[in-house]
Structure 1
Amino acid sequence: MTRERSGARVLAVSVGAVGDLPWRDRAIRSAIAKKPVAGPVPVTALGLAGDEQGDRSRHGGPDKALCVFPVEHYRHYERLLERRLDRPAFGENLTTTGLNEGETRIGDVLRVGEAVLQVSLPRNPCYRLGARYGVRELPVWFERSGRTGFYLRVLSEGEVQAGDAIELLDRPRPHATIAEANRVMHHDRHDHAAVEALLVPELGASWRRTFERRLAGQIDDPASRRYGPE
């Protein structure tokens, strides 16, 4: 099944160190302000060498080893934010072209450079996005548009770099698009049939727990994720 994703490739590979991010009347620890790296970067089971996370309970880990964000979404957010955005604008590790949420499936196995990666779950936008740009509603804009990006887990370690082609090696779950997962998570929260269809083995653990709670009648409150703790 190996094929390039219609010219899909990596435009930038980026890492970041944890630092202070102004939020309300204080600073929070975050590595959202990442910078592109020139040349090959090693990928391990926990992500790119040199990359850090400010909140390891919600970011990083095997299911979220690499964050992907399509460059095609930049113009949309530039219009909303009324400013030019430099890559990586949203703390992504891989800024890509040729991928989107409507065509990318949970469970897709991708070769990028020397690494073999698997799509695990959509990005769940949190208040750190709003803090970076001083726009409280930015996470909600992500949810409404469905232009969220997504995460990858690492199946085989290797090096990646800007310019690498993205090849689709396998697609075990043709129905489970990132767009469909976003729809169910953020909009049609009581669509139990869709929730059940998305509970595929490849779905990342955090979304699996949320969807399983919904099937049990427990609906989550997204306020703290969107706007931060009080």
Structure 2
Amino acid sequence: MQQMGTILSLNIGVSQNIGGDGDKKIISAIYKNSVSEKSLFLSKTGLEGDQQADLVNHGGIDKAVCIYPIEHYAYWEKELEKTFPIGSFGENMTLAGMVEKDTHIGDIWQWGEAVVQVSQPRRPCYKVAKRHQEPKLPLLIQQTGYSGYYLRVLKEGYVSVKDRCVLTERKSDVSIKVVNHTTYQDQNNERDKHVLLNLNELSVAWKKSLL
């Protein structure tokens, strides 16, 4: 059976200061709004109208689109006893049906006119903690493996919330879940690290972090 993901929301945002009054200025585009336009152009560097404030840790060729599975929202709401509206994790796409254990590095999807490829997990940072006033949230994301992940764009084109994400080719047997586990819970496993370092489709930035 062909693996497919259903897009629940496409989200774009602009850079802004998310630091509170009297706090150090923190520029981020983690606050994103759901868009219902018929279609948006997806270029090699991201969705039309979307910004990334920190181009070292977000955005760029290997991090053009950020995905977060809707399946994790219920867990966070129960665990942290608060409501998480769609887009709470700064994702460009809130997606159903393709969680980390079922999504592999190098997976190629057809999405509307575009062709995209899974490149790496999403690395949680202090800005998601700042947004939700939950200092331990990045660590909790690492521990659970509920990270989300990034896509690179192999073919540009127009996409929409009405399009399905259809897996067309699987390039590796290494899931996002496995990458997270090796990176955060099993750092001394040299055999598995070697596999990741030799995985062509895994982003260069992630490989550098393993070293």
Please, what TM-score do these two structures have when normalized by structure 2? Answer: 0.95
Displacement, 1:10?
Answer: 1.0
Identify the residue that residue 69 of structure 1 maps to in structure 2: 68
**2:101 alignment partner, SS class:** coil
For 1:26, what is the secondary structure of its paired residue?
Answer: coil
**Identity of counterpart residues, as a percentage?**
37
Q: Which moved more, 1:158-167 or 1:114-123?
A: 158-167
User: Which residues of structure 2 form unaligned runs of 5+?
Assistant: none
Which residue of the partner structure matches residue 13 of structure 1? 10
Distance 2:112 2:71 in 1: 21
* RMSD of Structure 2 on Structure 1 (CA): 1.3
Aligned residues between the structures:
208
Task: Find the counterpart in structure 1 of residue 157 from structure 2.
Answer: 158
Q: Which residue of the other structure, out of 19, 27, 32, is the alignment partner of 2:30?
A: 32
CA deviation after TM superposition for structure 1 residue 160, in Å: 1.5
Q: Which of 180, 183, 196 does residue 181 from structure 2 map onto?
A: 183
Q: Which runs of 4+ in 1 moved over 4 A?
A: none
> 5 Å matches for 1:190-229?
190-199=188-197, 200-211=199-210, 213=211
- Inter-CA distance 4–112: structure 2 relative to 1 (3 Å threshold): farther
Q: 1:8, 1:203 → 2: CA distance? A: 21
For structure 1, the residue ranges without an aligned partner over 5 or more in a row are: 214-230
Aligned partner letter, 2:185: H
Structure 1 position 196, deviation (Å): 1.0
* 1:81 Cα deviation from its structure 2 partner: 2.4
Q: CA deviation at 1:86?
A: 1.2
Name the CA distance, whole Å, in 1 between partners of 2:140 and 2:204.
Answer: 24
Matched residue type, 1:193: R
Question: How far did residue 27 of structure 1 move?
Answer: 2.5
Deviation at residue 128 of structure 1 after TM alignment: 0.4
Secondary structure of the structure 1 residue equivalent to 2:26: strand
Contact 1:4–1:165 under 8 Å retained in 2: no
The whole-number CA distance in structure 1 between the counterparts of 2:2 and 2:61 is 25
Listed one character per residue, the Cα deviations across residues 2-43 of structure 1 (whole Å, up to 9, x for unaligned) are x742x4211111110000112682230000000011121110
Could you tell me whether the CA contact under 8 Å between 1:43 and 1:158 is conserved in 2? yes
Per the alignment, residue 143 of structure 1 pairs with 142
- Mapped pair 1:47 → 2:57: no
Letter in 2 for 1:106: I
Rate the CA distance shift 1:152–1:71 in 2: closer, same or farther, 3 A: same
Q: CA deviation at 1:57?
A: 1.6
